[in-house]
Amino acid sequence: MNNVFKGRSLCVIEDFSIDERRYFFKKTQELKRAILENNEAVMDSFRINDPDFGIYEVFLEDSTRTKESFRNAAKFHHAKVSELLCDSSSINKGESYADTFNMLSGYSNRIFIVRSKVEGLTKWLSEETSEYAERNHLPYKPAFINAGDGKHEHPTQELLDEFSFLERLNMDFSEIHLALVGDLYHGRTVHSKANGLKIFDKVTVDLIAPDELMMPENYIEIMKENGFKVNIYPSIENYLDCGDIAKIWYFTRPQLERMGERILKKEAELREAITFKREFIDRLKEGTKFYHPLPRHKEHPTIPTFLDKTELNGWEEQAINGMYCRMILLSLIAGKIGEDFSGQSAIEKDYKSEEYIVEVQPENKDNKEKNISEGVRPIRNGIVIDHICKGDSPEDIRKHIRLISSVIGLDNARGGEWISHGSDGKFKGIIFRPDVMDLSRKELKRLAAIAPHCTLNIIKDGKVAKKFRTHMPPRIYNFEDMSCKNEACISNPVNKEGVASKFYRTNDGGYRCAYCGKVHSFKEIWNKR
């Protein structure tokens, strides 16, 4: 029977579908119960018990819980654990991540657990090492688990957080009302919640943080797109004054190591807004539980230690759940469990090919001459790109016209460009190039990505011989003159890994980086000239 989990990578939470995650939680609950009841027979049904199976931990950033819970989860499975000693590895001699992980893949390592400040690293490594495995005829493709990448995601933390919330909700997926408190700007665990919480049918999220630490707009947008109700509050004090307080609170610590000088200067004031105080206790709802991915800061914990011995403490069991969840994850990736899964798998997600240059009927069907002018003379032969950046300001349109001309390779041809009004009175840009008679498929794709919603007119003998409308391609990749503009992303040139950028179109007409998830406008993906 096909096991959809076997050999899978988990780089972002969406790498597992909602059905797959719900299956994961059910299995975690079964295993946790078996362990607590010391039911060896059930435990054995989850155990990998394969002497060749092992995990390889590569922690390029510090960790206690993630690293040690994976190590102990592997012990449960009687699997081996290897670790790259990052401080003394050849990465410090300037070796690329590609060379490092390809090599380790060749040494029979099949599951890598990787933490790094470089965003999208595991996603790219899973692609890179697959190619390496193929060209070296390895009998497997390595799987990658993202153990936290910069400010991006922490998908295994997300699984254990969701499992902990579900235990509190008696495994009921129908609804969650969750308060996220703390450093929502830098915290990857809260960013994973933008898609992670989709396992619940109805979601209300209260975001509690001062402006400097507020959740980035793109994650708030994702939450809203996912149908979540999102409320924003600047401090706990302010939140407690609102009528409808959540019973599940998720705190994070201020991530000082990721903050710039400007924010660090306001450290005390920011901590004040997101630290729970003794006098707030009476204002909480009955049955409230607090969670925290941990670590807490020993001097300035956002959940003070006097709460440890209260009913509010959900964070200790949450941390223990991390080990159960990681046991299940390894069991799934090893193919020990998963055959009884039924439902939609994320591996069935496919990007349908879609035409992005569509031929439309020229308006001069009766072949009447159309006044497409080159200065004062009508153009007789060549191309005219019309409706560029319709509705933008003339200054912005001019700027973009220059970029289009350069990206499509029209800079050295005769012709010109101008700004005019459309019939609706909005500004639009026009580029004309007499003598350029056609564009190649590659140029057309570039045109559609840099000038969507335009028309391309092919003019012959003074008439519009053909007319096309451009639409944003659903995917765009492998062009050297575009890049993700997030400097923390593995595909950004500053990281010098030579990773070709890749973007997927978003529902609202942006381009999302396939590695770090940053959303760009169609203008932003191209490099400045």
**Is residue 63 at the binding interface for ligand CP, with CB under 6 A as the rule?**
yes
The residue range among 16-24, 57-65, 340-348, 509-517 that interacts with ligand CP, by the rule CB under 6 A, is 57-65
**Is residue 456 at the binding interface for ligand CP, with CB under 6 A as the rule?**
no
Q: Provide, rounded to whole angstroms, the least separation between the CB of residue 66 and ligand CP.
A: 3
DSSP 10: B
Chain centroid to Cα 476, Å, comes to 17
**Beta-ladder partners of 458:** 383, 466
The residue range among 59-67, 87-95, 137-145, 511-519 that interacts with ligand CP, by the rule CB under 6 A, is 59-67
The residue range among 58-66, 194-202, 444-452, 505-513 that interacts with ligand CP, by the rule CB under 6 A, is 58-66
Q: Provide, rounded to whole angstroms, the least separation between the CB of residue 295 and ligand CP.
A: 5
The token pair at 145 is 């688990």
CA atoms in the 13 A half-sphere facing the CB of 272: 4
Q: Provide, rounded to whole angstroms, the least separation between the CB of residue 158 and ligand CP.
A: 11
Q: How many Å apart are CA 196 and CA 88, to the nearest integer?
A: 36
**Is residue 318 at the binding interface for ligand CP, with CB under 6 A as the rule?**
no
**Residue (10 or 436) nearer to ligand CP, CB:** 10
Q: Provide, rounded to whole angstroms, the least separation between the CB of residue 63 and ligand CP.
A: 3
From 443, 440, 458, select the one nearest 406 (Cα to Cα). 443
**Per-position x/- string for 251-290, each x denoting binding to ligand CP as judged by CB under 6 A, each - no binding:** ----------------------------------------
* Residue carrying the six token digits 């909005």: 426
**Beta-ladder partners of 467:** 360, 457
Q: Provide, rounded to whole angstroms, the least separation between the CB of residue 313 and ligand CP.
A: 16
SS3 state at 301: coil
Binding to ligand CP in span 151-180, by CB under 6 A: 157
Q: How many Å apart are CA 392 and CA 528, to the nearest integer?
A: 19
C-alpha pair distances (Å), 66 with each of 61, 284, 528: 11, 31, 40
**Is residue 295 at the binding interface for ligand CP, with CB under 6 A as the rule?**
yes
Binding to ligand CP in span 64-83, by CB under 6 A: 64-67
**Is residue 116 at the binding interface for ligand CP, with CB under 6 A as the rule?**
no
Residue 520 has phi, psi (to 5 degrees) of -120, 160
Q: How many Å apart are CA 407 and CA 168, to the nearest integer?
A: 54
Which of 4, 10, 222, 294 binds ligand CP (CB under 6 A)? It is: 294
**Residue (250 or 341) nearer to ligand CP, CB:** 250
DSSP 180: E
Contact positions toward ligand CP, by CB under 6 A? Answer: 63-67, 148, 157, 293-295
